[in-house]
């Protein structure tokens, strides 16, 4: 199957590093014009340069805006009025005992992990529907299905994102626009490296720390390793394509078999 996204414009929120940056690279590799986003200009421009290095000749635009706020979303819209592909990747996570999570932190997680996606969908979905084509993807997590005791607030927001996806897919029914969630499993990023060392200690080499983390904290993984970010990007590219025209309202897993269920 050859996936061709030439002529399509894609935005990946929170794409200055990690999974978001890998998704941007894979979309560019498939021919899409890509908008990368981060909160600061230097990191966002650096991400754009990394996409161009990985995909020579790629059309890449860097937009610095804090999409966890309505003001940031408006700044983005002023620079990028229309999209064909929207990937809501922006998210935060961190370990904290659930009884110590206060109201302000709960609100912050919902603003970043849920409302940032809602705002952008509300902003760009009408134009997609009018043109008869669009692809919206919300990057969720295995934590949406298997709530992790060490970060319940993160898991709850990712569960909410699955419902957001289903609701907006219904709003786009019959229009040629699809809306899906991608359930990403434990993934190898710099932030996750820090998280792993926080849980298992920082007195051992990365390979040993990763094995201990998977054994003790993610024992149901069927690949018994962290997922590489480009592997998530591969699924995003497919869901962005014409070939995925009959897939909508779904929660598709790229989780290494971690979720022990035949359904999400």
Q: Is residue 262 part of a domain?
A: no
**49 and 154: one domain?**
yes
Model pLDDT, residue 191: 80
**21 and 57: one domain?**
yes
If you average pLDDT over every residue of the chain, what do you get? 96
- What would the mean pLDDT of 167-188 be, rounded to a whole number? 97
**63 and 135: one domain?**
yes
Domain residue limits at 197: 189-226
Q: Which is more confidently placed, 94 or 108?
A: 108
**98 and 169: one domain?**
yes
Give the lowest-confidence range in 135-139, 223-227, 242-246.
223-227
pLDDT of residue 260 exceeding 80, the answer is: yes
Report d(CA 153, CA 168) in Å as an integer. Answer: 23
CA distance between the termini of the chain: 26
- What would the mean pLDDT of 124-145 be, rounded to a whole number? 98
Extract the tokens encoding 132.
């008869």
Q: Is residue 94 part of a domain?
A: yes
Model pLDDT, residue 1: 84
What are 25-69's pLDDT values in tens digits? 999 999 999 999 999 999 999 999 999 999 999 999 999 999 999
pLDDT of residue 218 exceeding 90, the answer is: no
Model pLDDT, residue 128: 98
Q: Is residue 259 part of a domain?
A: no
**138 and 194: one domain?**
no
Active site residue 168: no
- Count, in order, helices (H) and strands (E) of the chain: 9, 7
**193 and 181: one domain?**
no
Q: How confident is the model at residue 211 (pLDDT cuts 50, 70, 90)?
A: very high
**148 and 210: one domain?**
no
Q: Is residue 239 part of a domain?
A: yes
**150 and 204: one domain?**
no
Q: Is residue 79 part of a domain?
A: yes
**147 and 214: one domain?**
no
146: exposed, middle or buried (Cβ count in 10 Å: 0-12, 13-18, 19+): middle
Model pLDDT, residue 264: 75
Q: Is residue 258 part of a domain?
A: no
Q: Is residue 38 part of a domain?
A: yes
**99 and 216: one domain?**
no
Model pLDDT, residue 174: 98
Q: Find the catalytic residue in 109, 154, 168, 258.
A: 154
Extract the tokens encoding 254.
């790229």
The domain spanning residue 14 has which CATH number? 3.40.50.720
pLDDT of residue 229 exceeding 90, the answer is: yes
Model pLDDT, residue 85: 99
- For tokens 């529907």, the residue is 129
Report the number of distinct structural domains present in the chain.
Answer: 2
**18 and 99: one domain?**
yes
**207 and 152: one domain?**
no
Model pLDDT, residue 103: 98
Model pLDDT, residue 259: 92
Q: Which residues of 20-49 are buried (b: 16+ CB within 10 A; e: fewer)?
A: bbbbbbbbbbbbbbbbbbbeeeebbbbbbe
């Amino acid at each position: 199957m050859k996936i061709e996204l030439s002529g399509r414009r894609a935005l990946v929120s929170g794409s200055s590093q990690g999974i978001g940056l890998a998704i941007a690279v894979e979309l560019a590799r498939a021919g899409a014009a890509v908008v990368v986003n981060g909160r600061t200009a230097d990191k966002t421009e650096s991400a754009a340069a990394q996409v161009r290095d990985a995909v020579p000749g790629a059309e890449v635009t860097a937009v610095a805006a804090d999409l966890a706020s309505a003001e940031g979303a408006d700044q983005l819209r002023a620079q990028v009025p229309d999209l064909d592909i929207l990937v809501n990747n922006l998210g935060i996570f961190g370990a904290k005992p659930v009884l110590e999570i206060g109201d302000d932190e709960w609100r912050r997680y919902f603003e970043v992990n849920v409302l940032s996606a809602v705002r952008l969908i509300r902003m760009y979905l009408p134009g997609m529907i009018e043109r008869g084509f669009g692809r919206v993807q919300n990057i969720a997590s295995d934590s949406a299905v298997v709530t992790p005791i060490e970060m319940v607030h993160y898991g709850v927001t990712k569960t909410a994102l699955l419902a957001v996806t289903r609701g907006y897919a219904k709003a786009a029914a019959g229009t040629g626009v699809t809306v899906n969630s991608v359930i990403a499993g434990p993934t190898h990023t710099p932030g996750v490296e820090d998280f792993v060392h926080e849980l298992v200690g920082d007195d051992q080499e990365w390979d040993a720390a990763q094995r201990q983390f998977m054994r003790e904290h993610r024992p149901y993984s069927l690949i018994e390793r962290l997922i590489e970010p480009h592997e998530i990007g591969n699924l995003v590219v497919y869901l962005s394509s014409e070939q995925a025209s009959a897939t909508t309202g779904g929660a598709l897993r790229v989780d290494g078999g971690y979720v022990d269920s035949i359904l999400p």
